[in-house]
Amino acid sequence: MSEPAPTRRELARNAVRAAAMVWRSAPIHVLGYLAVTLVGSATPVAVAWLTKAVLDGVARGQTSALLNLAVAIAVVTAVATAVTHAGHYLRAEVDRRTALRAKEELFAAVCRVTGLAPFESPAFLDRLRLAEQSASNPGRLVDTALSVARGTVTVAGFVGSLALINPAFTVVVLLSAVPALIIELRMSRQRVAMLWRIGPAERRELFYAHLMSTADAAKEIRLFDLGAFLRLRMLAELRTANAARRRMDQREFSVQASLSGASAIVAGAGLVWTILAAGRGQLSVGDVSMFVAAVAGVQAALNVMVSAGVMVYEQLLMFHHHVTIVTAEPGLPASSQARSLPPLRRGIELRDVWFRYGPDHPWILRGVDLFVPNGETVALVGRNGAGKSTLVKLLCRFYDPTRGAILWDGVDIRDVPPETLRARIGAVFQDFVSYELTATDNIAVGDLPAAQDQTRIEQAARDAGVHDTVAALPYGYRTLLSRGFPADEEEEQEQGVLLSGGQWQRLALARAFLRRDRDLMILDEPSAGLDPEAEHEVHSQLARLRSGRTSVVISHRLGAVRDADRIVVLTDGVVAEEGTHAALLAEGGTYAQLFTRQAAGYLDDADTAATETAGAPR
């Protein structure tokens, strides 16, 4: 798996973008860093000059000025130390500020993604990981750019001296850096491509490591004794990634060894020429020593420049992942004529909706025609995998139908900005999220602006039947619902608490109650984790909430949906049956079969109980 490398033009644009980001994030610190770097590079020269003056003074016997010179050397040395420390601090601050901005940009873009498909795409997830990595140390760009600048100054300084002695050889030394640059650039492209290739292995390694270190999986891992199995898998992924990195390092090592050999040959040839010229009396001993120093200086500086240039290039290749995500379209195709969405009046229609999760996936919906009238409750039932949750995801426009359309009072929902549509929907999803936040926050996420009002939160909790539970927590609504984080020190909470599955389910319901004023309420298995009494209570509450509102309810507990205005049975990707509970029972189809089987299960239990009671010893 590889991906096309960015073009030169794209890289140039990325360079400007990266420089602008570093500059905008920390202009003062960047300037400060430049200043201390310049001062830092000037101090050795100053010390050298001052030392020379001291030595000359000693030689001439002018000891009166020596004290001042000694103080000057001490001051310059102190300045050199101070600017080194200041440089470290400023560089770290540039890193921190730029990383903050890069992360802000990156995750704003991630949150802008409108559909769910990218989060199920390995390419997107790999890119996101590399983009995060590229944001972790952006100050390196400044450093490497400075190294290039410093190298240029050194090269310019030595090239002058070298050219005076042997102009032709100067050209040879300079040209010898060109193949090195080309080869190193190719290596850095290969390195970035290698990082892309090992992305899935590294993500799997993280996945196994995460599994082994979180409470969610701890029970099963211990009961099924999965520790060694997961650890070995994690290590296998790490070995795969290491092997790819090692191969790359070995290739780089052999290339760099060859390049060093080539530089040594160039330098050696120069030295031979110099010695011969000195032998012929064309060069003095001083010229030979200058020549040797200048060749070494130019080669060392060119090396630094090439490595720094290559590092900038590599960083820009990595930064390309950041730019790709940040500048990507938000996902679902946007209509050219975005329409507003008036409150629902007539209803929502699914017109010949076909859907599959990808071109190589099976069809899940195969031409669903369905009308959800305004103010009515439609219950979706069907066997596992029939496509009920998928249909609900299409209603929220997490995906677009592959064929057909969903119309909201006749308006195709693809013509409406997704956030406008979603603002009109309240939902409890089958796989709702248990946020490791306080109880208040766990409810407030249902409607953040409205949730400023604590009484609304408490009312939603009351409606969901969870108020008493929350109020009885050690810190009431402020209690942290997690044991994985230290609780709020200001509140003097020592550690958070955990809720039971059914209590979490009720909190998720409270979130939905906070959005009770929305046009469409989606309830996907809203009572899955509740005990029978709680289920009855919640369904009665939901029935009150739904009354006069449009809702789509999914439940395998058919007793809970029998009161729906319309029950729709999904089978093989189409609406197989539709009607009221009574009508569908009378029809004697799939619904009647499912319902009677479920009811028989309850009856069997009752019968057993009755038999046991009857047969109990008198």
Nearer to ligand ATP, 310 or 509 (CB): 509
DSSP codes joined into one string, 211-237: HHTSHHHHHHHHHTT-HHHHHHHHHHH
Helix (H) or strand (E) run with residue 392 in it: helix 388-395
Contact 117, 333 (CB under 8 A): no
Nearer to ligand ATP, 342 or 358 (CB): 358
Q: How far apart, in whole angstroms, are the C-alpha atoms of residue 341 and residue 335? A: 14
Contact 527, 558 (CB under 8 A): no
Report DSSP state, residue 363. Answer: P
Nearer to ligand ATP, 21 or 381 (CB): 381
SS3 label, residue 482: coil
Figure out which of the listed residues 188, 274, 389, 479 binds ligand ATP, where binding follows CB under 6 A: 389
Q: To the nearest whole angstrom, how small is the minimum distance from the Cβ of residue 371 to ligand ATP?
A: 20
Nearer to ligand ATP, 61 or 362 (CB): 362
Q: To the nearest whole angstrom, how small is the minimum distance from the Cβ of residue 178 to ligand ATP?
A: 51
Q: To the nearest whole angstrom, how small is the minimum distance from the Cβ of residue 356 to ligand ATP?
A: 8
Is 315 among the residues that bind ligand ATP (CB under 6 A)? no
Sequence-distant (≥ 6) Cβ neighbours of residue 383 within 8 angstroms? 571
Nearer to ligand ATP, 127 or 388 (CB): 388
Q: To the nearest whole angstrom, how small is the minimum distance from the Cβ of residue 123 to ligand ATP?
A: 15
Q: To the nearest whole angstrom, how small is the minimum distance from the Cβ of residue 120 to ligand ATP?
A: 5
* Rg, the chain, Cα only: 36
Q: How far apart, in whole angstroms, are the C-alpha atoms of residue 549 and residue 378? A: 11
Pairing of strands 411-412, 425-428: unpaired
Nearer to ligand ATP, 7 or 384 (CB): 384
Restricting to residues 506-545, name those near ligand ATP by CB under 6 A: none
User: Which x/- pattern, by CB under 6 A, does the window 199-238 give for ligand ATP?
Assistant: ----------------------------------------
Up-side HSE of residue 474: CA atoms within 13 Å toward CB? 14
Nearer to ligand ATP, 120 or 605 (CB): 120
Restricting to residues 566-605, name those near ligand ATP by CB under 6 A: none
Q: To the nearest whole angstrom, how small is the minimum distance from the Cβ of residue 357 to ligand ATP?
A: 4
- Number of chain residues interacting with ligand ATP (CB under 6 A): 13
Figure out which of the listed residues 191, 321, 388, 424 binds ligand ATP, where binding follows CB under 6 A: 388
User: Which x/- pattern, by CB under 6 A, does the window 90-129 give for ligand ATP?
Assistant: ------------------------------x---------
Q: To the nearest whole angstrom, how small is the minimum distance from the Cβ of residue 239 to ligand ATP?
A: 30
Restricting to residues 347-386, name those near ligand ATP by CB under 6 A: 357, 361, 364, 382, 384-386
DSSP codes joined into one string, 14-82: HHHHHHHHHHHH-HHHHHHHHHHHHHHHHHHHHHHHHHHHHHHHHHHT-GGGHHHHHHHHHHHHHHHHH
Q: To the nearest whole angstrom, how small is the minimum distance from the Cβ of residue 571 to ligand ATP?
A: 10
One-letter-per-residue 3-state SS of 594-606: HHHHHHHHHHHHH
Contact 432, 525 (CB under 8 A): no
Contact 504, 329 (CB under 8 A): no
User: Which x/- pattern, by CB under 6 A, does the window 420-439 give for ligand ATP?
Assistant: ----------x---------
Q: To the nearest whole angstrom, how small is the minimum distance from the Cβ of residue 364 to ligand ATP?
A: 5
Nearer to ligand ATP, 390 or 550 (CB): 390
Q: Looking only at Cα atoms, what is the longest distance across the chain?
A: 130
Q: To the nearest whole angstrom, how small is the minimum distance from the Cβ of residue 388 to ligand ATP?
A: 4
Nearer to ligand ATP, 340 or 384 (CB): 384
Q: How far apart, in whole angstroms, are the C-alpha atoms of residue 474 and residue 497? A: 9
| Measured CA distances, 519 to 31, 89, 410, 424, 516 (Å) | 54, 54, 15, 5, 8
Nearer to ligand ATP, 457 or 530 (CB): 530
Q: To the nearest whole angstrom, how small is the minimum distance from the Cβ of residue 575 to ligand ATP?
A: 13
Figure out which of the listed residues 139, 270, 387, 426 binds ligand ATP, where binding follows CB under 6 A: 387
Q: To the nearest whole angstrom, how small is the minimum distance from the Cβ of residue 380 to ligand ATP?
A: 8
Nearer to ligand ATP, 431 or 490 (CB): 431
Q: To the nearest whole angstrom, how small is the minimum distance from the Cβ of residue 149 to ligand ATP?
A: 50
Is 390 among the residues that bind ligand ATP (CB under 6 A)? yes
Backbone dihedral angles phi then psi of residue 156, each to the nearest 5 degrees: -60, -45
Contact 433, 458 (CB under 8 A): no
Other C-beta atoms closer than 10 Å to the C-beta of 188 total: 22
Restricting to residues 432-471, name those near ligand ATP by CB under 6 A: none
Other C-beta atoms closer than 10 Å to the C-beta of 319 total: 25
Pairing of strands 550-554, 377-381: parallel
Q: How far apart, in whole angstroms, are the C-alpha atoms of residue 140 and residue 319? A: 12
Nearer to ligand ATP, 93 or 400 (CB): 400
Find, among 429, 406, 430, 401, the residue nearest to 344 by Cα.
406
Is 147 among the residues that bind ligand ATP (CB under 6 A)? no
Report DSSP state, residue 443. Answer: H
Nearer to ligand ATP, 483 or 597 (CB): 597
Residues that bind ligand ATP (CB under 6 A): 120, 357, 361, 364, 382, 384-390, 430
